[in-house]
Amino acid sequence: MYGFKQCKSLKEKPKLFFAQFCRGEMIDEVVRDSYAPRNVHRGNPSEADIYLAYATPPGYVSWRSKSKGTWFISKLCYWLENKAHDEDLDGIMKKVKHDVAKSYTSEYHKQVPCVSETLTKKLRFLHN
């Protein structure tokens, strides 16, 4: 699907993509509520170890602040700067999704990032 079969140097390495764009025209609102063969184990599938993080699920609008930029990228940068050496990528993205989900426009429009991933191991960033 992604064409990584031809790039052998990326085999078994994580490929991370962070996409900031609208994925449709639907607007999310505030919810007002109280509540194989023998040696198959030696290699990974060609679609393994891919991490796609989107600003929104398919079909939804992505929001931005005129002063701070897009909600998704600003929160992603904040948490990567502050937690990249303490937490794995899943933990960081939970914080990003939580913060973005708490945000809303003056018309009470909302947004939540969406992750699609096939990582086979925890991903941590090294500290230099």
Q: Which two tokens stand for residue 122?
A: 């925890």
Q: Which two tokens stand for residue 24?
A: 């449709």
Give the model's confidence band at 27: pLDDT under 50 very low, under 70 low, under 90 confident, else very high: confident
CA dihedral 54, 55, 59, 62 (to 10 degrees): -160
Q: E strands of the chain, at which residues?
A: 15-19, 28-29, 50-54, 64-65, 69-70, 109-110, 114-117
Closest CA to 123 of 73, 48, 57: 48
Domains belonging to the chain, first-starting first, are 68-115+122-126 (3.30.70.1470)
pLDDT at 76: 96
Neighbours of 24 (CB within 10 A): 12
Determine the 3-state secondary structure of 40 from DSSP.
helix
pLDDT at 3: 62
Please, how many CA atoms are within 13 Å of residue 117, restricted to the half-sphere of its CB? 19
DSSP structure string for 88-117: -HHHHHHHHHHHHHH---TT-EE---EEEE
Q: Which two tokens stand for residue 30?
A: 């505030």
What is the per-residue pLDDT across 48-101, written as a single tens digit (0 to 9) for each?
A: 888 999 999 999 999 999 999 999 999 999 999 999 999 999 999 999 999 999
